[in-house]
A and B are shown apart, each in its own frame.
Chain A
Amino acid sequence: MQSHQNFLIPKRHIREFMQNNEISYSSSINEALKYSMKKDKNMICYGLGVTDPKEIFSTTKDLVKIFGSKRVFDVPTSENVLTGISIGAALNNVRSVVSHQRLDFFLLAMDQLVNSAAKWHYMFGSKASVPITIRLIIGRGWGQGPTHSQNLQSWFNHIPGLKVVMPTFANDARDALISSIFDPNPVLFLEHRWLHENKEKKIKIGKIKKIKSKICSKGKDITIVSTSYLTIEALRAAKFLKKNYNISAEIIDLISIKPLDLNTILKSVKKTKNLIVADTGFSTGSIASDIIYEVMNSNKKSIVKSFPKKIAMPDVPEPTSYGLTKNFYVGANKITDEVLKILNIKKNKELILKEPIPHDVPGNWFKGPF
């Protein structure tokens, strides 16, 4: 918890030099990959651009130098075959981490993911398993537009046999990636592009643990469950609400989407009696909808004082133009408004939670192109 303190004072516009005791999200991914490849001498790591000069936003930095081109390699632009290959290799106990610079390209691999990876263990009577980790970078802003910005975690959430992880903070990302790699099942690991430069105090790598949700800000008035980048926005909203309305929000960073850590959520909601779920995906069929159903169906009908709220992206493709995306993204303001509504507190129009300018980047460090 302590390690997330710096996010309570968001520094979205300042790209600081990383200090020795700090770790950025992208370097945490890099560290997890190095750690895992050292631990498992057969593990391989590939994907388009893994060894190119940009090294998937520096996340695969130096891997080929350390582990060699047999285990770390660039590939043909063939998302479906890459997924199938990871399955075949897994059947012979060779673990893969496959990286995709945008989730949208991975949509070409649905046959291998859904028909094979997810079902192999089940449909062959538990005789074999498929330990693969598929890194999918998601995002928004800078004109990523309709086909470079999709947050489709709910698709994968729908498929039995898959696990879905979306960490927000650097240490969690590193630990969750290691845990995903050594999981005997296929794991979709979703990294938000807007998180790659976020830093926090580095914690040492500990034992490999089950991935769970995490309370990253304690509170008593309302529970905000959020995923990935929206957790950063939820923390901004919480700070604003505390300062201006004396509302204390408890924020749960979901981290593991599937399996869902319902207990952590229920425990919090039982205390706060109010719930908002903020999801980076489209509204219809979202993970937020599912979580709200699970909470309401938890045999504690009086669990909430008023019906929970869902915050998600509107059911339209993300437009490209800077002009069109103004006020398009859901974030701290939307969360703040919904909290006030749910708690029946009148909004003071003079109190404004300033949106960062420009609205389409995570900070001034981001100069595009993707």
Chain B
Amino acid sequence: MNKKIITELFKEVFRTRTVEEEIAKRYKDGHMRCPTHLSIGQEAVPAALSLIMRKNDFAVSSHRAHAHYLAKGGSLKRMIAEIYGKETGCSKGKGGSMHLIDLASNFMGSTAIVGNTIPIGVGLGLSSIIKNKKQFSFIFFGDGAVEEGVFYESVNFAIVKKLPVIFICENNFYSVYSPLEVRQPKKRKIHKMVSGLGIRSFYNESDDPYVLYKFLEKKIDFNNFNSGPYFFEFKNYRWREHCGPNYDNDIGYRKKNEFEYWIKKDPLIKIKRRLNFLSKKKIEFLEKKIKKEITDAFSYAESSKFPNPKEAYKGVYAK
């Protein structure tokens, strides 16, 4: 059982990492013409959740959503096509990297404004109670969103109404290039502050997807639909620039040793180490298969057509 989970976690981390690296590699070609926020270095939490979230559960996310979308089961080729602005994209080219959706897997949407989907995820939790379908709603956001008023409104509402909502805060220390110390008091622990609102609040600083998986599995009680919301804080680190394909340690907003410390905590290395029950050949086989899927997704995106320019004027209103 553990072997299966570890293998799945490895595949998820490897897939996300390779997708993002491929985007970074090809970004300079100028065909992906939209702001793109990569998840490289931040794969552990979404990978762990990919095995926690059930198909029927809902998920929403923010501007840095590729890993969450994939973790929920969003179509890879439609995501890449969306970043390429093609008609086959998950949002038909109208949203780009920051507006992903995959209704087949209940990934209900990611948006570009910090904190914006937090209340929307709470609304999905409320709808689940109304319809009594026992679906949980997972909300992904970062440390910056915790500074938005709507975050507190959302947590409060979810507590008052005892909603099946799971708040996932991935604290990567930076809001664009502004570090936590200019944004929040030095000694604050986000999960402690949030627990003061009256929500079950948990924290884990591991970078090991397997550790996070076991942790989440223990904490979330899917059998108790009416027990109210959960809040989780995790720590992770964005390796590349806030937005775009490059490394940006040269511009001086973070220290080299900080970066090197986090690179050593690489979630991919952590999960790969646990794969000792698989032969090198078997691992290579898995990697090859994933790489092929990714190459195919890029070919799909590149060979897809742009939408007809007339489409720009359509779809403002639902009929």
Contacts and interface: CB of A to CB of B under 8 A. Distances in A.
B128 interface: yes
Interface in B78-124: 89-95, 99, 101, 103, 108-109, 111-113, 116-124
B4 interface: no
Interface stretch (B17-25, B150-158, B271-279): B150-158
Given A76-B156, A86-B123, A122 B150 contact: no
Given A80-B150, A81-B153, A88-B122, A125 B89 contact: yes
A196 to B, nearest CB: 29
Contacts of A163: 317
B95 A125 contact: yes
B94 A89 contact: no
B58 A85 contact: no
Interface residues of A, number: 43
B127 A94 contact: yes
A125 B127 contact: no
B252 interface: no
A125 B315 contact: yes
B129 A91 contact: no
Interface in A105-128: 111-112, 115-116, 120-128
Nearest to B312: A122
A185 B160 CA distance: 28
Contacts of A129: 318
B119 A125 contact: no
B119 A94 contact: no
A306 interface: no
A123 B94 contact: yes
A369 B3 CA distance: 68
Given A84-B122, A128-B108, A121 B127 contact: no
Interface in A43-80: 44, 70-71, 75-76, 78, 80
A84 B90 CA distance: 22
Interface in B138-179: 149-150, 153-154, 156-157, 160
A94 B129 CA distance: 11
B198 to A, nearest CB: 13
Contact of B153 (A76, A94, A125): A76
Contacts of B99: 123-124
B315 A122 contact: yes
Nearest to B311: A125
Given A120-B109, A185-B318, A125 B92 contact: yes
Contact of A125 (B91, B113, B125): B91
Q: How large is the interface on B (under 10, 10 to 19, 20 to 34, 35 or more residues)?
A: 35 or more
B251 interface: no
Contacts of A76: 153, 156-157, 160
B121 A161 contact: no
A92 B124 contact: yes
A90 interface: yes
Interface in A125-146: 125-131
A28 interface: no
Contacts, number: 150
B227 to A, nearest CB: 17
B183 to A, nearest CB: 19
A86 B119 CA distance: 9
Contact of B120 (A44, A116, A184, A185): A116
Contacts of B91: 123-125, 127
A162 to B, nearest CB: 9
A93 to B, nearest CB: 8
A77 to B, nearest CB: 9
Interface string A239-282: 00000000000000000000000000000000000000000000
B312 to A, nearest CB: 10
Contacts of B120: 84-85, 87-88, 91, 112, 116
A123 B109 CA distance: 10
A221 to B, nearest CB: 37
A175 B318 CA distance: 20
A89 B60 CA distance: 13
Nearest to A86: B123
Nearest to B159: A76
A160 interface: yes
A70 B127 CA distance: 11
B86 to A, nearest CB: 11
A42 interface: yes
B187 interface: no
Contacts of B89: 125
6 closest Cβ pairs, A-B complex:
A88-B123, A84-B119, A125-B92, A129-B318, A81-B153, A78-B153
Interface of A: 42, 44, 70-71, 75-76, 78, 80-94, 111-112, 115-116, 120-131, 160-161, 163, 184-185
7 contacts: A92-B127, A92-B128, A116-B120, A122-B316, A123-B99, A124-B101, A128-B101
Given A88-B122, A89-B123, A125-B101, 19 more contacts: A44-B130, A76-B156, A80-B153, A84-B120, A88-B137, A89-B124, A94-B127, A111-B150, A112-B116, A112-B120, A115-B112, A115-B116, A121-B317, A123-B91, A125-B94, A160-B316, A184-B318, A184-B319, A185-B318
